[in-house]
Amino acid sequence: MEEAGLDAYIISKSPNVYYFTGTISGGKLILTRDDPPVLLTSRLNMVASLQASDPRKIGFDDISLSLYNDLKEKIPNATLMEAPEIVREMRMIKDSEEIELMRRAGALADSGMEAIRDCIGEGVRENEVAAEAAYAMRKQGADALAFPFIVVSGPRSAYPHGGVTERKIRKGEFVTIDMGASFREYKSDITRTFIVGTPIERQRDIYETVLQTNMVALDLIRKGETGFDVHMVAAKLIEDAGYGEHFIHDLGHGVGLEVHEGPNLGKTSKDTLRKGMVVTDEPGIYIHGFGGVRIEDTVLVTDSAPERLTRYAKDLDAMRV
């Protein structure tokens, strides 16, 4: 707050409130320079508490228009500014306790993928695959899914965010599963593409290109590298293999209390990797009408070699069912 010249800072996004308080109950956290922080659930109390400290400059992680207008009226001398980066910066670096929870979340995702391998096949429906994986993760201690399942089979595997349907999986198809576990609010994120039966040449070429890209990028997830550079190396590999226009998203994103948080690995990224960051490495190739492949792991930036928090097998032989 001192660095940003703020007299008060209001934290209202629930993962941010959880980060500082350990509670998932509603409420906004009010920080002022001199008084102890308070967690308030009532708008009235919040405004009164701010008025009392007579702040000149108030920062927010997030603010609704109605609260903005309310404060403009009740504390007319204060400047109000969005400053979400303050908490984003703090949350990007995980301490040892957070890393331990994220290792658990990663292992849970692996066990979900194992359950998928056991059930997936010709004639099985996408929603049945999701059911088995969710069941396995919850039975082993996940409090929840990190985010809604993506199970996309056949031509649907060309949709990176295609959700889950009741479609039956057929022989020869790609099936991409993107999922994660939540363990004590910390998330994991993993994607694997299975292939039902024997891949044809084009499927093999796409798969090997994505896998190769995933492995090269993994090795670059080290302190001092930039999110921009890591993404560009991956994009170049896919482009050189002839699939440049089919890699349509960023290489990765931070993971923690939210499944998408800082830092970003993409072509607009301004982030530099630092020890304690956790990011995804998820190149993909999507061909409309044919299908797609994405391979994703959650990875911890360490002092030396990257540590995979999701460790499920990913070579093509392991993905054949």
- 68 lines the binding site for its own copies (CB under 8 A): yes
Name the DSSP letter for residue 189: -
Contact 294, 284 (CB under 8 A): yes
Which of 33, 56, 72, 139 binds its own copies (CB under 8 A)? It is 139
Which of 144, 215, 232, 321 binds its own copies (CB under 8 A)? It is 144
- 320 lines the binding site for its own copies (CB under 8 A): no
- 79 lines the binding site for its own copies (CB under 8 A): no
- 304 lines the binding site for its own copies (CB under 8 A): no
Contact 158, 290 (CB under 8 A): yes
Contact 170, 122 (CB under 8 A): yes
Region near its own copies per CB under 8 A, out of 38-46, 122-130, 201-209, 226-234:
122-130
User: In this structure, what are the phi and psi dihedrals at residue 215, rounded to the nearest 5 degrees?
Assistant: -70, -40
Contact 239, 251 (CB under 8 A): no
Contact 275, 286 (CB under 8 A): no
Nearest-approach distance from CB 200 to its own copies, in angstroms: 30
Q: Distance between CA atoms of 298 and 254, rounded to whole angstroms?
A: 9
- 19 lines the binding site for its own copies (CB under 8 A): no
Nearest CA to 192 among 317, 298, 297?
297
- 270 lines the binding site for its own copies (CB under 8 A): no
Amino acid letter, 27: G
- Prior bond of 148 cis (ω within 30°): no
- 131 lines the binding site for its own copies (CB under 8 A): yes
- 149 lines the binding site for its own copies (CB under 8 A): yes
Nearest-approach distance from CB 284 to its own copies, in angstroms: 17
The 25-64 contact track toward its own copies, x by CB under 8 A, reads x-------------------------------------xx
Q: Distance between CA atoms of 246 and 101, rounded to whole angstroms?
A: 35
Q: Are strands 144-145 and 38-40 parallel, antiparallel or unpaired?
A: unpaired
- 4 lines the binding site for its own copies (CB under 8 A): no
Nearest-approach distance from CB 74 to its own copies, in angstroms: 17
Q: Which residues bind its own copies (CB under 8 A)?
A: 24-25, 63-66, 68, 82, 127-128, 130-132, 134-135, 138-139, 141-145, 148-149, 161, 163-166
